[in-house]
Amino acid sequence: MLTAGIGVFLVACKALSTNLENASSQKLKDLFAKTGKNKWIGVGIGTLGTAAIQSSGAITVMVIGFVNVGIMSLAQAATIIYGANIGTTITAQIVALGMFGGNGISASIIFSAFAGIGVFISMGARHERWKLIGGILTGFGLLFVGLHIMSNAMEDFASLDSVKDFLASISNPILLVLIGTLLTALIQSSSVLTSIAITMVFSGLITLDQGIYMTMGSNIGSCVVALLAGMSSGTNAKRTALIHLLFNVMGVALFLFIALMLHIFSGGHSSFGTVTDHLFPYAAQMQLALFHTIFNVCTTLVALPMTNLLVNTVTRMIPEVPSKQQASQPHLYYLDETMLRTPVVAVRQVKAEIENMAELAMANFRRSIHIVTTLEFDDMDNFRATEDELNFLNSEVTRYVAKLSSKPLNKTDNKYLNTAIKSVSDMERIGDYAENIVEYAVSLKAQHSTFSAPAIMEIKEMKQLIENLYGHIRKAYSEISIAELENANNVEEEIDRFTETMEARHIERLVSGECTAQVGAEYISLAQNAERIADHLINLGKSIRKFA
C-alpha cells in the first residue's frame, strides 16, 4: 500500500507539473525573460517559477540549458537555483495542510475529491483552458489520494513495535541525512521524499528530528537530476550543476553544525525538533513543512552574498577548455537538449533560434549586396561560415522541433511548432539566394565587367526596401503583431513593383547600349532573387496568423 501511495503521488506530481507548465506557459516565458543582474530578482524568479510548475528539478534543468547556450550567466543561474529551493517547499506546505481535520472529515479527503471534479471538467471541456484547469485539479486531487494511501500504510507500520524499534535506532543525524539523500536520488523528487517524511512524522512512525534530517538530505538528493543534465552538456552547464550541489551541501553542513551547537549548549536537551515544537505546537506535520521552508530561506540568505565566491570556486574547479576549432564550428545559439524537460520554455527558445537565423540570413544578404556592387571579396570567409551555419541550423532546429512536438504542450504552442519548421526552411532559403547573388559577382569579375552606376543605385534601393521589410517582419514575428505584418505586406507590394521597374529600366539600358546582354542577365536574376528573399521574409511574418 505504501508503494501504491508513492506511485499515485509521483503520477500526481507529474500531471500537476505538466498541466501547470502549460497553463502558465506565457507567464513562465516572460518570467525567465526578466533575468537581470539583481540577485533578489533571480531568487524571486526561481521561487515563483517553481511554485508555478511545482518542480524545482524542471526549473534547475531549464536554467542549466540557458547557461549552456550562453544566455544566462552563472551568477544569474545561482540565484534562480536558490529561489527554486524555496519554491519547492510549497508542496510540503500543501501536504501538511491536507492532514488537518482530526476526527471529522480531514482536509485530505476533501482535497482528494478534486481528482474526480478535475476529470469531469476535462471530459466535458471543449476549450483548451478548461481542459488544463481540469488537469490541474485532477493532479492536485491525486496528490492527496496518494497521500491518504501512504498515511494509512504508515499507521499500520506504526502499530508494529519491530518497525518502530528499528526506525528509533536510526538516530544519527548524518545517517538520516544520507538516507534522505539516497531516497531522493532514487525517486528524483525532493517533494515526494518530504511528503513521505511528513506522513511518517504525522503517523508517529518517526520523530520530528528524524524527519527534519531526512528532509535536509532530500535537498542534496534533488541535485541528482541537475548533475545528470549538467554532465552531458558544456562546461558552464557542469558548473551550474556543481553550484546547485555545493549550495545544498553547504546549507546542510551549516544546519548540522547549528544542531551540534544546540545539542552541546543545551546539554542534550534541545534540538531542531524541540525548538520547532515550541514555535509551532500541536501540528507535527506543519512543524516539518515550516522547518523545510525556514531551512531553504536561511540557506539562501547565507549563500546570496557569497554568490560571486561560489561562481569563482566552481570556475576554478571546472576550468574552461579552450578550443578554437570548436568555437568556429556551427552551433545552436538558444537551444539545448536539457530544455526538452521544460517544453513550454523550449518553445520560446525555438522562436529565439529562428529570429537568430533571420539575423544570420540578413547578414549574408547584406554581404552579398556589398560584394556584387563593389566586386570586393574580402568578407567571403565570413559569408561562407554564415552559410554553413544556416545549413546546420536548418537541420538541427528541424530535428529539435520534431522532438519537442512529441512533448505535452498546449494548443497554441503546438500550432506554433507546426509553423516553425517552415520558417526555418524560409530562413535557410534566404541564405541560398544570397549565395546566388555572390555567384553573380564572381561571374562579373570573371568577365572583367561590372554593373552600370544606375544599376548599382537600383540594387542599393532594392536592398533598402528589403531592410525596411525585414524591420517590420522582425517586429511582427517577435511581438505577434498583425499591424506590423500589414505594414510589411505594403512594403512587399512596393518591392514587387520596384522589381518590375528594375527590369524595365534594364531593357532601356540594353537598348541604349549602356550594358551588355550577359551583364543584363545577371542583373535580372539578381532582381528576381531579391524579390524571392522578400517572399521568404513575408512567409515568416504570415506564420503568426496561424497561432496569433
Of 259, 285, 317, the last residue of a domain is 317
371 with 243, same domain: the answer is: no
3-state secondary structure 399-426: HHHHHHHCCCCCHHHHHHHHHHHHHHHH
77 with 223, same domain: the answer is: yes
Region 117-135 average pLDDT: 86
Name the residue type at position 546: K
In tens, the pLDDT along 420-470 reads 999 999 999 999 999 999 999 998 888 888 888 889 999 999 999 999 999
Whether 281 maps to a domain, the answer reads: yes
Neighbours of 2 (CB within 10 A): 16
Name the residue type at position 158: A
In tens, the pLDDT along 493-517 reads 999 999 999 988 888 887 777 777 6
Whether 148 maps to a domain, the answer reads: yes
194 with 255, same domain: the answer is: yes
Please state the length of the chain: 548
CA 464 remoteness from chain centre = 37
Q: What is the per-residue pLDDT for 27?
A: 64
Region 312-321 average pLDDT: 86
Point out the least confidently predicted range of 60-64, 208-212, 382-386. Answer: 60-64
374 with 511, same domain: the answer is: yes
**Cell numbers standing for residue 417:** 511548432
Upper half-sphere CA count for residue 156 (Cβ side, 13 Å): 8
Domains identified in the chain, total number: 2
In tens, the pLDDT along 195-226 reads 888 888 888 888 889 999 999 999 898 888 77
Q: What is the per-residue pLDDT for 156?
A: 77
355 with 211, same domain: the answer is: no
Assign 546 a pLDDT band (cuts: 50, 70, 90): confident
Assign residue 497 the CATH number of its domain. Answer: 1.20.58.220
The residues near 136 (Cβ < 8 Å, ≥ 6 apart) are 16, 19, 20, 23, 118
**Cell numbers standing for residue 229:** 543534465
CA 217 remoteness from chain centre = 26
100 with 27, same domain: the answer is: yes
Q: How far is CA 266 from CA 64, 137, 255, 260, in A?
A: 43, 47, 16, 10
CA atoms of 18 and 32, how far apart (whole Å): 18
Backbone CA torsion sign across 356, 357, 362, 365: positive
Q: What is the per-residue pLDDT for 371?
A: 94
Region 227-241 average pLDDT: 76
CA atoms of 441 and 242, how far apart (whole Å): 52
Q: What is the per-residue pLDDT for 327?
A: 47
Strand (E) or helix (H) holding 191: helix 190-202
Of 317, 351, 386, the last residue of a domain is 317
Segments forming the whole domain that contains residue 160: 2-317
Of 263, 287, 317, the last residue of a domain is 317
The vertex-233 CA angle with 230 and 234, nearest 5°, equals 110
Whether 524 maps to a domain, the answer reads: yes
The one-character DSSP state at 342 is S
Whether 328 maps to a domain, the answer reads: no
Whether 516 maps to a domain, the answer reads: yes
| Closest alpha carbon to 353 in 423, 431, 435, 433 | 423
Q: Burial letters for 89-108: b for 16+ Cβ neighbours within 10 Å, e otherwise?
A: bbbbbbbbebbeeeeeebbb
